[in-house]
Structure 1
C-alpha cells in the first residue's frame, strides 16, 4: 500500500474531490448557468424576434443590433437601454450578458456566427437537475505529465456540437504522460486564466459510460520544468453533454485516447446516464 492509498489519504483525496465537484455543479446549475438556457438563436441581416428574449435582432458588418419595443428594456453593463441598441462587433468566444427581468440574454459570437442565447432561471432543464453522475475519485487517475510548448502557437481547427460549425484555437503546446504503462499525449488549448491549459479528449469510455463527444480537463500552469498534473478525476462534461443549445468544441483527432479513463464525470442523467 502506497502512502496515497492509505485510508486517511484516500479519505482526504475524496473530500477534496467532492468539494471541487460541488463547486462545479454549482456553476452549471446557477440561476443563469448553462442549464438555464432556453434557446440558441442564430442572427442574420433580417430582423428576428424570439419567444424568450425581447426586441428584434439583426447582425451585419457593424455587429449585433437589437430594436426594443416600447415598454421593453435591457440592462447592459448596469445601464438601462431602450429603443435601438448596438452591441457592436463581438470577438470570437466573447460576448455580452444583458439583463431582462430575472433572465440574462447572452449575446455572443461562436464559430464566426453571432448568436442570442437567453438564460431563464425557471428553465425546466435547470429546475429538474439532480446532479451529474461521476466515477468514485481515486489517486491512480492523477498523473504527472510533461508540457512541451510549440515554437509558436498552432492554429487548430476542431468541429463543434453543432453540425457544420467549427472552432479555431491557438494550441500552445503538447502534454506527454504515462498511464498504466502506456505513453500518451494530448494537445493543449489555452485555459481560462493566464498560463493555465485546457485539454479536450475522448477515450475508450466515451459513448459507453461517459459522454460520447468530449470531456474537458482544466490544468494549472505547468511548473518551470514543464511538469503538470493531469487529474482525470476532475474531467468534466461540457454543456453540450446536457443540452443541444450549446456550441461546444470537439477534441482534435490526436486527443482520442486509446485507453479507458474510468474517472471523472459520466453521461448526464439528462442524456440517459445512470
Structure 2
C-alpha cells in the first residue's frame, strides 16, 4: 500500500470514528424549534421559550436562562445520559437532542466512500479578493440562511475541464469549499460536500478531492447545514471522497 493510500485510510478511519461519538451527530433524535411562549418540548424536562435575546427555562433543575449565539455551536445541557443542545439559527432557537441510545447510532456502520485515487488530486491557483465578501446560502432546513466569508477563487483543471470554486475561510486557518458535482444526488449527498485546503503558498493550492467530506446533514435530519453556493456547482463527476451514507 502506498503512503498516499495509507494516509487516506487513516483519515477515513478518523472520520468514521468521529461520527461514531456516543453524543455526536449520529446520536441526534430530534430538532425542536422554540416559540416565545412557554411550552413542553417532547419528553424533555421543564418548559421552554425563546426570544431575540435569550432562552428561558422553567422547572428544570440548574437551568433557567441560556444565550445561544447565532450560527455558533450550541450550548449543551445535561439530561441524564442525553445532551440537549440549544442553538440559534437565522434568529430562531431550536433544541437538538443527543442520545447515546439512539437507534441511528446503534445502526451506524461507517461512512461509504470511493477508493482513493491520485487522479483526483489536482493543483490549482488561488486568487484572493481585494477584501472578503459575504456569500449567503440557503440551508437544508427551509427558511434558514448561512453567511460565509469568501476570500477568493480557486481555478483548476479536473477531468480535462477548467473549473472554478469560491473559497471560504482564510485567517491562516486554510480554506474550505462547499461544492456539488455530477455525482451529487446520485452517489453523493445532494446538498453539498466540503473540502478543506491548506493555506495557499505563492498562490498555488492542492485540492485532494479524495477528502471531500459529508456535512452532518448527510447523516441526520436534525442538522441545519448549508447548501453549496450556486457558483460552486462543478460540471464534472467527482468520483472521490465520501458517498451518501443514507
Q: Within 2, Cα distance between the matches of 1:54 and 1:230?
A: 47
Q: Within 1, Cα distance between the matches of 2:59 and 2:125?
A: 53
Q: Within 1, Cα distance between the matches of 2:215 and 2:43?
A: 23
Paired position in structure 2 for 1:92: 71
Does residue 187 of the first structure (1) align with residue 170 of the second (2)? no
Describe the SS at the equivalent of 2:113: coil
Describe the SS at the equivalent of 2:239: coil
Paired position in structure 1 for 2:217: 240
Paired position in structure 1 for 2:189: 211
Structure 1 unaligned spans of 5+? 1-7, 74-80
Instruction: Decide whether the 8 Å contact of 1:106 with 1:117 is kept in 2.
Output: yes
Alignment TM-score, normalising by the size of structure 1: 0.84
Does residue 197 of the first structure (1) align with residue 171 of the second (2)? no
Instruction: Decide whether the 8 Å contact of 1:52 with 1:118 is kept in 2.
Output: no
Does residue 19 of the first structure (1) align with residue 10 of the second (2)? yes
Runs of 4+ in 1 over 6 A off after TM superposition: none
CA offsets, 1:192-236, max 9 Å, x none?
A: x8422211111011111111221111222222x122221100111
The match for 2:154 among 175, 191, 206 is 175
The offset of 1:22, in angstroms, is: 1.0
Paired position in structure 2 for 1:78: none
Instruction: Decide whether the 8 Å contact of 1:65 with 1:88 is kept in 2.
Output: no
CA offsets, 1:146-193, max 9 Å, x none?
A: 2222112111111111122221112122111111222111111227x8
RMSD: 1.7
Instruction: Decide whether the 8 Å contact of 1:98 with 1:106 is kept in 2.
Output: yes
Does residue 137 of the first structure (1) align with residue 116 of the second (2)? yes
The match for 1:258 among 232, 235, 242 is 235
* Alignment: residue pair count: 246
The match for 1:35 among 23, 26, 32 is 26
Describe the SS at the equivalent of 2:6: helix
Instruction: Decide whether the 8 Å contact of 1:92 with 1:112 is kept in 2.
Output: no
Q: Within 2, Cα distance between the matches of 1:89 and 1:242?
A: 24
Alignment TM-score, normalising by the size of structure 2: 0.93
The offset of 1:89, in angstroms, is: 5.1
Paired position in structure 2 for 1:113: 92
Instruction: Decide whether the 8 Å contact of 1:39 with 1:52 is kept in 2.
Output: no
